[in-house]
A and B are shown apart, each in its own frame.
Chain A
Amino acid sequence: MPRATPVLGPAAVDVTLDVNGHARAIHIRPQRTLLDALREDLGLMGAKKVCDEGTCGACTVLVDGRPVYACMTLAVATAGRAVETVEGLAHDGGLHPVQEAFIAHDAFQCGFCTPGQIMSVVALLRARPDVTADDVKRAVTGNLCRCGAYPNIVAAALAAAKRKK
């Protein structure tokens, strides 16, 4: 259910974001993107700025469990919602199964698109643990990879899905 976003601004405002389960209070201008809030205000450098115009997926994070392009999302619009970034996946030193699978299947080269790819796959597998290669492709079709790690990304996602079952 979309919640009504209070009108904020135009001057800088205080907002509290729920990032990886932690309440994080920041003071930002309302036009700040979620990506800039994460990177510049919260120091979370996992999500990458590759295009800043919604065309590559490198900034993908989850908002209430759904993958969004953080560069196309206003930070203030995510107040009161659960934001998850790649930094929040590993727990107690243990990697998330998708992260494990990305390493085992060599699903990255330079790694710059990787946080975004992983978040898209995590969202997919949470929604539907039983997936086919086509499902995976659809889920990461908005995540470009210039190094061309695609075959291994698909293999990693399928392996992670199998392990979760």
Chain B
Amino acid sequence: MTKVVRTRVEFEGSVSEELALVQGEDAEPWAQGEELVIVGHPQRRVEGIAKVTGRARYTHDLRLPGMLHARMLRSPYPRARVRRVDPSKALALPGVRSVLHRFNAPKAAFRGEETIFREEVRFVGDEVAAVCADSEAIAEEALALISVDYEVLPHVVDLEEAIDEASPRIDEHGNVHDADRHERGDVRKAFKEADAVVEATYRTATQMHNSFETHGAVAVWDGDMLTVHESTQHIFGVRRGLQAALRIPYGRIRVVCDHMGGGFGSKGGVGKYSIVAALFARELGTPVRCVLDRHEENLAAGNRSATLQKVRIAAKGGRINAIAHDSWSNAGQGRWIADPTGPTKSLYDVPNVLTRSYRVLANTGSLAAFRAPGYVEGTFALECAIDELADRIGIDPLALRRLHAASDRDPISGLRYSLKRLVDCYDIGAQEIGWSRRRPKGLRASAPGLRRGLGMASQIWSGGGTPPAYATVHLNPDGTAVVRIGTQDIGTGTRTIVAQICAEALGIAMADVRVEIGDTDSPYAPISAGSLTVASIGPAIRLAAMDARDQLLDVAAGILEVSKAELRVEGGAVVSRGARTPIAKVFEELQNYTVIGKGARLPNSEELVLKTFGAHFAEVEVDPRTGEVVVDRVVAVHDVGRIVNPLTARSQVEGGVIQALGFALSEERVVDRPTGRVMTPGFESYKVPTVKDVPKIVVRFVDAPDTCANNTGTKGLGEPPIIPTAAAVANAVANALGIRVRTLPLTPQRVLDAVEAAPAAKGGEADRRGDRRS
């Protein structure tokens, strides 16, 4: 039976009401302490061999007979009107098959616009034309032969410049747009009555995803059936995007993503490259590949918005009594922003809060979701401000947080959390890092002249998962199974978790489960983003496997002539009163009998709010003479429900911390203001962490199943570990130096500037020693 219900869905920090279909009954959740044999135990990645032998096929690796190659011509100007495009010289080049541009391309709806080639190009890298040729090299050569007549228009690329009234207005409605506002309590009164107020401005830089596999697609038509292979976090999203752009029926589009070289949020839907590949492939009657190169990736494939954030925070009676947080995000040409004020609204139980968030347009590439978008930036500002307030009122910053972290209710809705173990995260982390060593003026450094400090920060994020998600489990007569679900593994280990949950619920070995994902011919599963994968698909897979198991037991009861109630499936065999019959044996006489189990994710409870929590602790050493920050150790503690695979979960946290350290210390997109060009389009100038930048990372989980969340007790883990690291590091640096650096990344130059601007802190060595003894 299928019912339609309304359900609350949270995605990347925003909550919406959606319709959901309820099919069937849910299973009792796996309880705390329930003996599970596969789930909860470390398991190697099921695609491990494919990945270490080079056999894993990525979109980049696809080569089809007759395949042609498309490349984009991109605007060299940050803002210009495309008056004329003359492709004749390019078309004359041998090997060039076709050129598309705004005067000949069919209409193709893309992100609220009607075309993929704009009349007014709005950032350096905006698509102007596309060439299709026999090879990438020829296509590339042809790009230089397309002549374009541009009328250059005034532009603005920098966030603060764009906010400035005196700068060019690049949008008819202005550059600054309201995005979000939240108010509770009486902030004005609270600030008036405060014992202490800290007011500070924080800035974060634009971070670029730099997924190792760049965005790209290969399109193939077979009659009127389109197949697109795409490196994507959401095959079904790409399918919808192609449907809208090409105006072809949903049923005529198949999207496939086998292995994928990362996405980190940036691969959430169809790209212009996929549409271009599909258009050329249709026109030329042969497969077409369109893959971005590294520099294009860093111009036109998304980024984490730079932010400007002003925080005012007030204490009264030794507690936080009010927070006001205003935030501006550089959306580039994006039509949305990820709200940095999310953590301020929801992380702590504070009575008086006012947040305002603004989207600022600029002539740079659009933002794209980047692993906990908004929350990474916002947590930095909020958690630094809390430390500054704690310093001001002379209380340990962790102790101050504890006063506001224990509430079991979401402060926005007033609803209860399904489970919240933030305080446990504090206890575990404080113990692990040795927080009791912390002194207001830092710790003893490893060498004279250096400064050492401790810092911490908290994390809140969604991760409760959502319907719809469906799975089928086919049990073959030999006792092996195929689980099919339209999710994708972006590198997080989804394949392995699918196999684990299926094997556990069915009662067979993981090695006997084959995982089929990454194909829209499978049942629907949501986007691999928002930390919602495991908690969305896990319950559906479990139900499908249980359904298959139930049918198997029906068959076994008949064949073995034992009542079903006495049977169970264990280790690939049907077991009754000590007798084990392998599944293959049960089916022996039935020959080609196939059991088909199906499962659907049921809606979340309306009465509960599902969140993940965590805390990071950092120990750093700073050289005030060079400005260099060395992170010694990060302790990352997370409360994300049941851990399905401890091996890959730890990797996920380490990866998040490392990406966060890039954000904290070295990663910064630089755009030249006069020309609008990205000066950091490659790894030479854009500094992602290397192996040598990695500190000791200690990963700990509360690992308590959230039995109110869903039948697997799981929540998401993809994003939580990138959220609090930068704030913890910045707080540790402030603890070490006695000086606050409020702009990320904390480059040596910024640290030096801050040291220079605070002469009082220089030569404070004597006081510091005194302090340490106390």
List the interface of chain A (C-beta within 8 A of B).
39-40, 43-53, 55-56, 58, 85-87, 89-90, 95, 99, 102-104, 106, 108-115, 118, 137, 140-141, 143-154
Contacts and interface: CB of A to CB of B under 8 A. Distances in A.
Given A52-B293, A53-B682, A149-B651, A110 B690 contact: no
A138 B57 CA distance: 29
A79 to B, nearest CB: 21
B688 A144 contact: yes
Nearest to B47: A111
| Closest 5 pairs between A and B when the two form their complex, measured CB to CB | A46-B54, A110-B491, A148-B658, A112-B261, A111-B51
Given A50-B213, A87-B55, A114-B51, 18 more contacts: A39-B61, A46-B53, A52-B294, A86-B52, A95-B53, A99-B49, A106-B647, A109-B651, A110-B260, A111-B52, A115-B52, A115-B54, A137-B692, A140-B691, A143-B691, A147-B212, A147-B491, A148-B689
A55 B53 contact: no
Interface of B: 44-45, 47-49, 51-58, 60-61, 63, 209-214, 259-262, 264, 293-294, 490-493, 647-648, 650-652, 654-659, 682-684, 688-692, 694, 697
24 contacts: A45-B60, A45-B61, A48-B212, A50-B294, A51-B294, A55-B682, A55-B683, A87-B54, A108-B52, A109-B262, A109-B493, A110-B211, A110-B213, A110-B490, A111-B261, A112-B212, A112-B491, A113-B212, A114-B52, A144-B683, A146-B209, A146-B210, A146-B264, A148-B656
Contacts of B491: 109-112, 147
Nearest to B212: A112
Nearest to B48: A103
Contacts of A140: 691
A51 B682 contact: yes
Main secondary structure of the interface of A (DSSP, over half): loop
A55 B684 contact: yes
A51 B683 contact: yes
Given A53-B684, A151-B694, A106 B259 contact: no
A111 B491 CA distance: 7
A86 B53 contact: yes
B69 to A, nearest CB: 10
A141 B691 contact: yes
B587 to A, nearest CB: 30
Nearest to B293: A52
A85 B54 CA distance: 9
Nearest to A56: B683
B221 to A, nearest CB: 23
A102 B50 CA distance: 12
Contact of A106 (B212, B648, B656): B648
A60 B411 CA distance: 51
A86 B54 contact: yes
Contact of B211 (A102, A146, A153): A146
Contacts of A154: 691
Given A46-B54, A106-B45, A150 B658 contact: yes
B688 A87 contact: no
Contacts of B214: 50
Most buried by A among B52, B293, B490, B694: B52
Contacts of A52: 293-294
A152 B651 contact: yes
Nearest to A49: B60
A85 to B, nearest CB: 7
Contact of B212 (A45, A58, A90): A58
